Amino acid sequence: MRQDLPHAVLGLLFGVDRSTVTRAVGQIRTLLAEPGCAVPDRQGIRLRTVEDVFAYAQAEGIALRLDATQVQVRRPQAGRGGRRAFVSGKKKQNTMKTTVVADHRGRTLWTDAMRPGRMHDAAVVRAEGIDSCFRHFPDVEVLLDDGYLGLRRDHPHQALTPPRKPNKSALPEFHERWKCPHHAHSSDRITVENALADHKRWKQLMRWTHRRENLPATYRAIAGLVSDRTANIRQAPRAGPPCLTRYHAPTRKGFSTGADLSAYFPEDLDARLA
């Protein structure tokens, strides 16, 4: 997956038939996609669903970062139904879109929600049930970009988007007053962009040339491998101007780093993680 070598080349390197390599890759892909993402500083616990991620965030008192990314795929055959669904209005290409959740250090916590590229970011979130997680976990805050303004309207104290830019006719002091919180929000949300960049370093996610139905499992497998590598990364907080201070607190008052996760995770979590 890292270099996306043709199966015929792998078969030549290992002295087996190409079909044997294809079958082995499919089996390994499934095994890598099932475990989910690693929990930072908690060895042996995996986050498989978005409910697990929100439960972890509420237990630890951290703010999540959520964003979507698109992977270019092959154009569906002519005459096949739903062909236009993959045409992205932003990329002007045939793409599939996935949603990624990361923490304040850019560590991947969850990825799934693979949908056709034409679907709006907020619509993907609602279709995957992330919208309902805001109601079940009222203490969790999620930093978003301007593509999720509808979520901010529905959950104003949890879905946090950057402040809207003043009108061109507004006074200069309003524009100056807008720059500082906008920069603060962008600096705090940039970690999810770093997580997406870690995924896109894998050649298969730069442009997917295989069957589209195999892309979701491949993306989950890559995200799980990336999360294993970055789970224990400890990054020193960046210094910023005074106006950015309140946006760079990874934990909220009232939660401890060593909080007991058993109160928030499902009762059968140990059995699922075994």
Q: With beta carbons less than 8 A apart as the criterion, state whether 218 and 98 touch.
A: no
- Cα separation of 102 and 110, whole Å? 7
By DSSP bridging, strand 142-143 and strand 159-160 are parallel
Give the per-residue pLDDT at 41: 78
In a domain, 7, yes or no: no
Interatomic CA distance for residues 184 and 134, integer angstroms: 23
pLDDT of residue 251: 39
pLDDT score, position 131:
87
* CA–CA gap between residue 15 and residue 122 (Å, rounded): 47
- pLDDT at 244 (0 to 100): 42
Asked if residue 66 belongs to a domain, the reply is yes
**What is the reported pLDDT for 55?**
93
Spatial CA neighbour of 49 closest among 62, 36, 65: 36
C-beta of residue 122 within 8 angstroms of C-beta of residue 130? no
Residue 81 CB contacts under 8 Å (≥ 6 apart), including other chains:
none
CA distance 229 to 72: 25
Here the tokens at position 193 are: 């962009």
* Residue carrying the six token digits 């015929």: 8
- Domain membership of residue 232 (yes or no) is yes
Instruction: Yes or no: say if 25 and 210 are a contact pair by the CB < 8 Å rule.
Output: no
Radius of gyration of the chain (CA): 20
DSSP H/E element including 1: none
Residue 266 falls within a domain, yes or no? no
Which pLDDT does position 80 carry in this prediction? 73
**Strand locations in the chain (E):** 37-39, 42-47, 64-72, 95-102, 108-116, 142-143, 159-160
Phi, psi of 71 (to 5 degrees): -120, 125
User: What pTM does this model have?
Assistant: 0.77
Classify residue 6: in a domain, yes or no.
no
pLDDT, residue 127, reads: 87
Q: Which domain holds residue 226?
A: 34-253
- Let me know if residue 17 belongs to a domain: no
User: What is the chain's pLDDT, residue by residue, as a tens digit (274 residues)?
Assistant: 678 888 888 888 889 999 999 999 999 998 998 888 998 878 888 999 999 999 999 999 999 999 999 999 988 777 777 778 888 888 888 999 999 999 999 999 999 878 888 888 888 888 888 888 999 999 999 999 988 988 889 998 899 999 888 888 888 888 888 888 889 999 999 999 999 999 999 988 988 888 888 999 999 999 999 999 888 765 544 544 445 434 433 334 333 333 344 444 445 544 444 4
- Asked if residue 133 is part of any domain, the answer here is yes
Residue 65 lies in a domain: yes
Helix axes 18-33, 7-14, angle to 10 degrees: 110
Q: Classify residue 162 by its DSSP letter.
A: P
Number of domains forming the structure of the chain? 1
